[in-house]
């Protein structure tokens, strides 16, 4: 009888960039003769890909690891591999205090996954530690470029790894190393494979997507990359996520305007609006851009959707800084906004700054800021009723089988709201459909399919 393949299940935590790392490992495993498990319960080996951006993310990672260890006590043959930012950040300290974890993989060592799975499934007692460096320098191309963990409608392409900025609150450059870009040819090759698999939307991601190509010193940059992907041709969407507020934005927006596939969508985490706080965050160079981005973006692309993220409770933040941010958000009218609260991260300049505002106070301000944003969103959504649009149908509602789930150019996967569509029976998923907006449902839009 043929021996069944060893199965590996992934639990992915954190951001889409981590998801891509899981796809890289999964592709490697498939190529080396392993199979993917539908869930950790049924997997011979569970890989937990951790996040360590802020304290909440770390706590979630530890909780998930503890759950898998619990599962291992029920199924003693099951193996656990931990990888991602938490492993990379704490290295040997993390491994030493977690004897129940069978293997650790560093960020530069992801392609070692098959070798490690082979070792832990053949030697039942050995803990493997495969973290080759404290300063990652690699950026991986997926082994199976068409493999997508995000379903069959959209895919992420990680175009670069690491970050060369040094925002005072952020541990990412310490964990993931300096920015390094993939080549345009490699990314276009991946995009072609993804589109051949029927995916309809490509999302370009990295820690700082605007910085793409700077390190290659061959003239590559984000506008050139966008054009090269657009030149593949065909009916698909191209979205850019995680931009940094800097001088190349104008050209990026103009490029979005030129390319038929580009979503008119700008994801631009400003973090704060007050110059003193931006300076303290070591984001001084963004001050003039933060001020002018909303107006500049709408001047170049009047139909653009703007998304941002704000960080509250940074050391030294006072009521006047919050008032400034509230005024800015009210005036700027972003379509989507996320916020998070400062977490003092070891190894970052902000860790020792002290003068951290009280969490209670910061939570109160966060609530006020999100209330304000909710009003803005409600008004914006209301104004869409009666408008026509072309959206990407991505799935069917489980509760209401006659309702389809779709996303417009202004709705990015995973982070934004969606559009519920009725009357789309004639469309095969995933595909585009012309709709007219008829209602809103909290943060979401409701639409009916247009029959010409
Ligand atoms: S741009 Fe700043 S916040 Fe973003 S990953 Fe780089 S250092 Fe962190």
pLDDT in tens, 386-403: 999 999 999 999 889 899
Rounded (10°) CA dihedral 94, 342, 133, 51: 60
Q: Whose CA is nearest to atom 1 of ligand 1?
A: 165
Q: For a substitution probing ligand 1, which of 170, 173, 174, 280 has the most ligand atoms within 8 Å of its CB?
A: 170
Q: Looking at residues 445-452, what average pLDDT do you find?
A: 91
Domains 154-383 and 388-449 share a fold: no
List ligand 1's pocket residues with C-beta within 6 A. 163, 165, 167, 170, 172-173, 207-208, 244
Classify 216 in phi/psi space as left (phi over 0), alpha (psi -120 to 50) or beta. alpha
Atom of ligand 1 nearest to the CA of 271: 3
Is 287 exposed, middle or buried, given 0-12, 13-18 or 19+ CB atoms closer than 10 A? middle
Looking at residue 205, what is its pLDDT? 98
Looking at residue 451, what is its pLDDT? 77
Taking the centre of ligand 1 as the mean of its atom positions, its distance from the CA of residue 125, in whole angstroms, is 39
CATH topology of domain 388-449: OB fold (Dihydrolipoamide Acetyltransferase, E2P) (2.40.50)
Q: Whose CA is nearest to atom 8 of ligand 1?
A: 170
Q: Looking at residues 25-54, what average pLDDT do you find?
A: 95
Taking the centre of ligand 1 as the mean of its atom positions, its distance from the CA of residue 236, in whole angstroms, is 29
How is residue 395 written in tokens? 């799935």
Looking at residue 291, what is its pLDDT? 95
pLDDT in tens, 139-198: 999 989 888 999 889 999 999 999 999 999 999 999 999 999 999 999 999 999 999 999
CATH topology of domain 154-383: pyruvate-formate lyase- activating enzyme (3.80.30)
Taking the centre of ligand 1 as the mean of its atom positions, its distance from the CA of residue 165, in whole angstroms, is 6
Q: How confident is the model at residue 3 (pLDDT cuts 50, 70, 90)?
A: low
The pTM for the full model equals 0.96
The C-alpha atoms of residue 139 and residue 163 are separated, in whole angstroms, by 12
pLDDT in tens, 338-390: 999 999 999 999 999 999 999 999 999 999 999 999 999 999 999 999 999 99
Listed by start position, the domains of the chain span 7-130, 154-383, 388-449
pLDDT tops 70 at residue 113 = yes
Q: Whose CA is nearest to atom 5 of ligand 1?
A: 207
Cβ contact 178:225 at 8 Å: no
CATH of 7-130, one of 3.40.50.970, 3.30.750.24, 3.30.420.10, 3.40.50.12160: 3.40.50.12160
Is 326 exposed, middle or buried, given 0-12, 13-18 or 19+ CB atoms closer than 10 A? middle
């Amino acid at each position: 009888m043929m021996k069944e393949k060893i199965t590996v299940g992934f639990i992915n935590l954190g951001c889409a960039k981590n998801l891509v790392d899981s796809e890289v490992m999964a592709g490697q495993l498939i190529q080396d003769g392993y199979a993917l498990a539908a869930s950790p319960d049924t997997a011979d080996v569970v890989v937990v890909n951790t996040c360590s951006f802020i304290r909440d993310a770390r706590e979630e990672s530890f909780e998930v690891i503890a759950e898998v260890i619990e599962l291992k006590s029920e199924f003693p043959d099951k193996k656990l591999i931990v990888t991602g930012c938490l492993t990379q950040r704490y290295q040997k300290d993390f491994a030493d205090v977690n004897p129940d974890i069978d293997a650790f993989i560093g960020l530069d060592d992801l392609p070692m996954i098959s070798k490690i799975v082979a070792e832990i499934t053949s030697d039942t007692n050995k803990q493997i530690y495969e973290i080759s460096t404290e300063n990652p320098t690699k950026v991986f191309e997926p082994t199976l470029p068409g493999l997508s963990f995000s379903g069959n409608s959209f895919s992420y392409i990680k175009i670069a790894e690491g970050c060369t900025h040094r925002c005072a609150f952020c541990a990412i450059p310490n964990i993931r190393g300096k920015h390094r870009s993939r080549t345009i040819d490699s990314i276009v090759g991946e995009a072609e494979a993804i589109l051949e698999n029927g995916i309809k939307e490509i999302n370009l991601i990295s820690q700082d997507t605007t910085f793409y190509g700077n390190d290659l010193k061959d003239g590559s940059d984000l506008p050139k990359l966008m054009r090269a992907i657009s030149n593949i041709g065909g009916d698909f969407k191209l979205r850019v996520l995680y931009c940094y507020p800097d001088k190349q934005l104008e050209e990026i927006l103009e490029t979005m305007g030129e390319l038929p596939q580009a979503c008119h969508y700008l994801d631009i985490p400003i973090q704060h609006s007050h110059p003193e706080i931006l300076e303290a965050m070591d984001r001084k160079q963004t001050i003039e851009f933060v001020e002018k981005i909303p107006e500049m973006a709408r001047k170049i692309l009047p139909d653009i959707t703007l998304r941002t993220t704000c960080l509250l409770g940074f050391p030294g933040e006072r009521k006047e800084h919050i008032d400034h941010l509230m005024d800015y958000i009210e005036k700027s009218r972003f379509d989507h906004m996320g916020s998070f609260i400062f977490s003092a991260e070891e190894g970052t300049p902000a860790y020792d700054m002290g003068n951290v505002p009280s969490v209670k106070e910061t939570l109160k301000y966060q609530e006020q800021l999100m209330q304000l944003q909710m009003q803005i969103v409600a008004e914006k959504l209301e104004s869409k009723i009666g408008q026509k649009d072309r959206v990407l149908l991505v799935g069917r509602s489980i509760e209401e089988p006659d309702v389809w789930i779709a996303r417009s150019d202004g709705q990015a996967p995973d982070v934004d709201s969606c559009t519920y569509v009725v009357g789309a029976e004639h469309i095969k998923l995933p595909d585009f459909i012309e709709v007219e907006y008829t209602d809103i449902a909290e943060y979401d839009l409701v639409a009916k399919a247009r029959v010409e």
